[in-house]
Amino acid sequence: MDLQERPHRRYNPLTREWVLVSPHRTQRPWQGRVEATAAQLEPAYDPACYLCPGNVRANGVRNPVYTSPFYFDNDFPALLPESASGRLDEGGLLVAESERGICRVVCFSPQHNLTLASMRADEIRLVVDTWAQQFESLLSLPHISHVQIFENRGALMGASNPHPHCQIWANQTVPNEVAKEQESLAEFSIAHDCCLLCDYVALELRHAERIVGENQSFVHLVPFWAVWPFETVLLSKRHVSGLDDLTGQERDDLSAMLKQLSGRYDHLFSTSFPYSMGFHQRVAADGARDLSHLHAHYYPPLLRSATVRKFLVGYELLAMPQRDLTAEAAAQRLRETKPGTDGTFPGFL
């Protein structure tokens, strides 16, 4: 079967959904909107930034003069820790339920103009430790079933502030995408008596054509079923259910991989690359530690360059996702961005 020239469908075993791949369309000329790429140089400290050390946030609270990762409860949370319990159900057609939760913000660094690509690996390790501590702490609460750590990078992805930071939302119930993955992992485990993602990692390492980078503990790859043009997934090689299960060496390896993959994106597109990323870890349920396999999804919207974006429209909204660039071609382009001996990408950062 010719996967590089002919239209075909690819199956995502995690969500049990299909994506239409049309590699012959990569030669299609682009006459759509082209975005400006002028770089905005940010200062190391911005007195108007509500995330910088010592500055006052919108609710009047002043940030401490922090020197390492700093977290706080979101001043404008999407979820509230206290919410009256209630349910609406009119014939199964109008259905609503109350939802409790906690929303936090984690500042990666006191320096306003950094990204994960430009931070040192030892600085990122402090962020990883903070993530692990927050994940374990929040998931232990009796009313929390799921903890989502995610980063929206760049104004294109809805980030309201360029200061290096991410968010953590802890839900009372398990969200849609995670629930689909958990069901798929459970069914695969029953059918094959093994972990879907453990088998997938081993398969991809054997093929090697979609691998972008790897170290002793993690592998970064373009998934076979990718929807976004440069979508990638970062997976632990060892079966661990969450960040809190990682050894010290694995946390160091994760820090190095986070720096490298962010640098690859930036170097390939010669810009501070916009993306949404998030970790999928175990949920609060019996057997979740055995079932779940730590991984992070990266969803970038750029299509061919820093100026051409990709949105889900038309057929993709009404029928099924479709992409022109194959996972193998995207992986090759990312793989060909070679870091220097110090782990950085010369010519950009």
The residues assigned a catalytic role are 165
Of the CA atoms within 13 Å of residue 315, those in its CB half-sphere come to 6
Q: Are the C-beta atoms of 266 and 349 separated by less than 8 Å?
A: yes
Per-state percent for the chain, helix, strand, coil, to nearest 5:
30, 25, 50
Residues 284, 31: Cα–Cα separation, whole Å: 48
Q: Are the C-beta atoms of 69 and 126 separated by less than 8 Å?
A: yes
Residues 191, 47: Cα–Cα separation, whole Å: 57
Residue 232's alpha-carbon distances to 22, 222, 262, 335, in angstroms, are 19, 4, 11, 12
Return contacts of 336-342, CB within 8 angstroms, 24+ apart: 337/263, 337/264, 337/267, 337/268, 339/260, 339/263, 339/264
Instruction: Name the DSSP class of 56.
Output: B
